[in-house]
Amino acid sequence: MRFRLGLMAAVVLAIAGMATGAAAVSPAVAASPADAASGPCGTASAPHSYQHVVWIWMENHSYSDIIGNKAQAPYINSLAARCGVAANYHNTTHPSLPNYLAATSGLAEAHLPPLSFFDCNVSSVCDTSAPSIFGQGESWKAYEESMPSNCDRSNSGEYAVRHNPPPYYTSLSGCARRDVPFTQLATDLARSALPAFSFITPNLIDDMHDGTIAQGNAWLAKNMPVILDSPQYKAGTTVVFISWDEGSGGYPAQDCDDPGTTATSCRVPTIVISPSTPAGTVSKTFFNHYSLLRTTEDLLGLHRLDQASSARSMTAAFHL
Q: What is the pLDDT along the chain (320 residues), one digit of tens a residue?
A: 333 333 233 333 333 333 333 333 444 555 555 554 568 999 998 777 899 999 999 999 999 999 999 999 999 999 999 999 999 999 999 999 999 999 999 999 888 888 898 888 878 889 999 999 998 999 999 999 999 999 999 999 999 999 999 999 999 999 999 999 999 999 999 999 999 999 999 999 999 999 999 999 999 999 999 999 999 999 999 999 999 999 998 877 788 988 989 999 999 999 999 999 999 999 999 999 999 999 999 999 999 999 999 999 999 999 99
| Domain boundaries, given as residue ranges, for the chain | 32-309
In whole angstroms, what is the distance from residue 101 CA to residue 172 CA?
Answer: 13
In whole angstroms, what is the distance from residue 287 CA to residue 259 CA?
Answer: 9
| Nearest alpha carbon to residue 254 among 288, 207, 283 | 288
Task: Provide the 3-class DSSP secondary structure of residue 179.
Answer: strand
| Nearest alpha carbon to residue 92 among 120, 66, 112 | 112
**Quick one: fold of 32-309?**
Alkaline Phosphatase, subunit A (3.40.720)
Q: What one-letter code names the amino acid at 310?
A: S
In whole angstroms, what is the distance from residue 110 CA to residue 112 CA?
Answer: 6
Task: Provide the 3-class DSSP secondary structure of residue 252.
Answer: coil
In which element (H, E) is residue 144 found?
Answer: strand 140-144
Q: Give the predicted TM-score (pTM) of the model.
A: 0.89
- Cα-based distances in Å from 317 to 156, 255, 285, 286: 39, 24, 8, 11
